[in-house]
Structure 1
Amino acid sequence: MDTYTTRATRIMRRIQELATISEDTQGITRRFGTPAFLTGRALVQSWMEGASLAVRVDSIGNLRARLVSQNPAAKTFVLASHIDTVVNAGKFDGPLGVLLGLDMLEQLVQQQVQLPFHIELIAFSDEEGVRYHTTYLGSKVVAGSFDQSLLQKQDNKGITLTDAITTMGGNVEQLAFDAIPAADWLGYFEAHIEQGPVLWERDIPVAVVTAIAGQQRVEVTFRGMAGHAGTVPMNMRQDALAGAAEFVLAVEQFGLARQEHIVATVGKLDVRNAASNVIPGDVTCSLDLRSPDAMRLTSAYEALRTHAEAIAQRRTLGLVWNLVQQTAPVACNAEMNNLLAQAITEAGYEVVSLVSGAGHDAVPISAVAPATMLFVRCFKGISHNPLENVEERDLAAALHVTDRFLSSLISSYLSVRVEREI
């Protein structure tokens, strides 16, 4: 068994152990700030501390381990991903990147590498946005772009974000001080499962991410009139669910007609006061739009809003259109991507470039630092699902590539320093 396979096996054991910690007995669920999240974070923290790293938890709940350069004025290079999950999640989305990063730092410690820059490994506390319906809470704090107005948001139990942070031991007054100043960033690297089928179908272990699609999340509510299912004539109804159903199918058709440029999804449907013998009077559904093209994303948003308004008008329904979140498409850093592509070639693999349709913590970080991402092949591209899986050979390949990438980064940084000194 070669070195990378041995390391991959150890990472897999850790991923499996972390996956046993969940809010639910069936599946894996670790939402931001929940007892299961805190237990999982404590486990990862124990591994970090066992590697003789300087470890701390910041005020938003990010877990941060640091290897310090002998140069106190050095910049910081960040390895990161997240450890929160969606509901009924897979094992690899997020934890793979964190635990791969931990393995990288363990190797540097064992080899006593003299670093020309600081390296910080961050396990972000909230990327998925499940509990408070807003993504990137953890990485926005580190990037210095956290929106203070979010502190008043409530979860489905009425617990504010402020209260959740306080319960976790954080201090909302300290959030701004947990950011890495823009001038101190050297760069950002995130390894993540592809969450798509390209690498699986081509049997290629890794890929370079060139861009991350922009996203718009909308909460759409159709309001009609609740009534008795047996007494209101069919042609006199204001059925909010029928209107929502028409919109759901319209979203699907819209996405299919433009599938080369955009994806459109309705993933949630809430029928208020639902009963089998009641005509639905108030129905809310979600809308998730994604595209790497900012103009097409804006155009799709406006077109579907117009379509929803037309459905509501035709059916004599009220409509509430609430934009919950929007992020612009993000391009990964060309220089960092060139180093990553070079590392893939040196490791003996074909260089594949992909656009990520999923959002990642690299989105807010890219506003303050050169960001690059490595995709790792996953089973049939399945993600956000218990069937999510990664083979050890692909994880070993990702370790090989990341080793070479970090080595090249260190060498190139030292070369620049020498040139400046001369």
Structure 2
Amino acid sequence: MTDYQKRAKNVLTKINELAAISDDPTCVNRTFGTTAFQQGSRLIQTWMQGIGLQTRVDAIGNVRGRFVSPIAGAKTFVIASHMDTVVNAGKFDGPMGVLMGLDLIENLIRSGETLPFTLELIAFSDEEGVRFHTTYLGSKVVAGSFDTSLLDRKDESGTSLGDLIQSMGGVLSQLVNDAVKSDDWLGYFEIHIEQGPVLYERNVPMALVTAIAGQKRVEITFTGMAGHAGTVPMDMRQDALCAAAEFILEVERFGFINTHNLVATVGKLNVVNAASNVIPGEVVCSLDVRSHDVAALEAAYQSIQTVCANICAERSISFHWNLVQETAPVACDPAMNELLAQSITESHYDVIRLVSGAGHDGVPISQVSPIAMLFVRCFKGISHNPLEDVDLSDMAATLRVADTFMNHIIELETSRNGATRRFETFGKLANR
């Protein structure tokens, strides 16, 4: 009988070892392309090699390990998550999914079973988008949807993405060749912490994800007139910060009114040339709107832009509205979710279905493959924070469910035409 508690301890040991690699000794910090990021990448590759995978680091910096099926024409099933972090991060967001995937594949290899498909474990290089303010760099390369115009984008130090890739040893012309071919995809599976409080409040160790919310990210610049705080009368001011403040409160109000189907957040605020005795003349803020309903997302985006325009008109403030990123809502594959729900039930846990408000690498992958995700309970739903934590017992429970899920996939694929065809019941995306 499998000792899931022991396997979970081994996973946690690796999580802690990886978390000790950081650009900041006071916290977990491995943003894309940094010294710590590359050191962590090498460690993950070593672990992959240790269980017998054929490994490589592709042009964008994804660490990839393959266990190749001996069956001619076998498809590829990808297990993945990301290895980069936000600044001052927790240690589970991303790496836990990579290292649980490592454990799952190691267990399958040890079983000695002939797999009807090739397994590929991927540690994606940049899901968070911290450095270049664009997400899913690694998974877009694997999905074949990477936008080469991004190579000119620069970080705050002035380093372009293209220059960074080359400094890490990547070859820019190879990016297009690092995609899994569209005809080779069988499916995609990711384990990730929930990053929300639902499982914690319901005291349930895991949930299957039904969809990933779409999102729109905007940068808004409010421009008024800077002036002396002591000499310009209150009724003659064009205070950009006051306009931004009113806008921020209106965004919150809009979110509360529409809480059933969206969330709206202003998370960044920059007062340009700020001083205590100067009326703010220019303020830049962010806007993040998310929903699993594409119509609600678009309506919210338009409504909030109108609110911004009205506030600025009333205050004689000009504004620049810049849509910096948008992704459509993504549905997880119904047939894969049926197998995942069956696996949860067979492991004697309640089946909880959740929509992910956070974005994941499954978003670009969903354009070329059926996807499935399993959420794991995290302490009080805290994430992107050093307090991020997962109970060992929940990790063990998740490994049990994931083992069962993978065995069902193997059984199903083996039963189809001598293990040479893809899942016929998996979504239409797999066949286009």
| TM-score strictly above 0.5 | yes
Residue 24 of structure 1 corresponds to 24
Residue 210 of structure 1 corresponds to 210
Residue 346 of structure 1 corresponds to 346
> TM-score when scaled to structure 2?
0.95
Rounded to whole Å, the distance in 2 between the matches of 1:53 and 1:98 is 14
- 1:286 maps onto 2:286 in alignment: yes
Residue 299 of structure 2 corresponds to 299
Matches within 5 A, 1:159-178: 159-178=159-178
Rounded to whole Å, the distance in 2 between the matches of 1:343 and 1:404 is 5
Rounded to whole Å, the distance in 1 between the matches of 2:418 and 2:72 is 17
Rounded to whole Å, the distance in 2 between the matches of 1:415 and 1:135 is 38
AA aligned opposite 2:171: N
Residue 319 of structure 2 corresponds to 319
Partner of 2:284, secondary structure, is strand
Partner of 1:154, secondary structure, is coil
Rounded to whole Å, the distance in 1 between the matches of 2:105 and 2:250 is 49
Residue 424 of structure 2 corresponds to none
Matches within 5 A, 1:220-239: 220-239=220-239
Matches within 5 A, 1:96-115: 96-115=96-115
Q: Deviations over 1:366-412 (max 9, x none)?
A: 11001000011111111111111100000001100010111110000
* Residue 197 (structure 1) shift: 1.1
Residue 37 of structure 1 corresponds to 37
* Residue 288 (structure 1) shift: 0.3
The answer on whether the counterparts of 2:379 and 2:388 sit within 8 Å (CA) in structure 1 is yes
Rounded to whole Å, the distance in 1 between the matches of 2:284 and 2:95 is 32
Residue 92 of structure 2 corresponds to 92
* Residue 203 (structure 1) shift: 1.1
* Residue 2 (structure 1) shift: 6.3
Rounded to whole Å, the distance in 2 between the matches of 1:59 and 1:236 is 56
Residue 271 of structure 2 corresponds to 271
Rounded to whole Å, the distance in 2 between the matches of 1:57 and 1:420 is 28
The answer on whether the counterparts of 2:73 and 2:420 sit within 8 Å (CA) in structure 1 is no
* Residue 234 (structure 1) shift: 1.6
Rounded to whole Å, the distance in 1 between the matches of 2:165 and 2:97 is 24
Residue 122 of structure 2 corresponds to 122
- Coordinate RMSD, CA, aligned: 1.3
Residue 427 of structure 2 corresponds to none
Cα 1:420–1:368 shift into 2, 3 Å: closer
> TM-score when scaled to structure 1?
0.98
Rounded to whole Å, the distance in 1 between the matches of 2:387 and 2:173 is 40
* Residue 420 (structure 1) shift: 8.3
* Residue 109 (structure 1) shift: 2.0
* Residue 112 (structure 1) shift: 2.0
State the identity %: 61
The answer on whether the counterparts of 2:75 and 2:118 sit within 8 Å (CA) in structure 1 is yes
Q: Which runs of 5+ in 1 are unaligned?
A: none
Tell me whether 357-366 or 232-241 shows the greater mean CA deviation: 232-241
The number of residues matched between the two structures is: 421
* Residue 66 (structure 1) shift: 0.4
* Residue 25 (structure 1) shift: 2.3
Rounded to whole Å, the distance in 2 between the matches of 1:2 and 1:205 is 19
Residue 378 of structure 1 corresponds to 378
* Residue 182 (structure 1) shift: 1.2
Tell me whether 268-277 or 135-144 shows the greater mean CA deviation: 268-277
Partner of 2:416, secondary structure, is helix
Q: Which runs of 5+ in 2 are unaligned?
A: 422-432
* Residue 42 (structure 1) shift: 1.3
- 1:75 maps onto 2:65 in alignment: no
Q: Deviations over 1:45-91 (max 9, x none)?
A: 11111112111000000000000000131100000000111111111
* Residue 418 (structure 1) shift: 3.6
Matches within 5 A, 1:149-188: 149-188=149-188
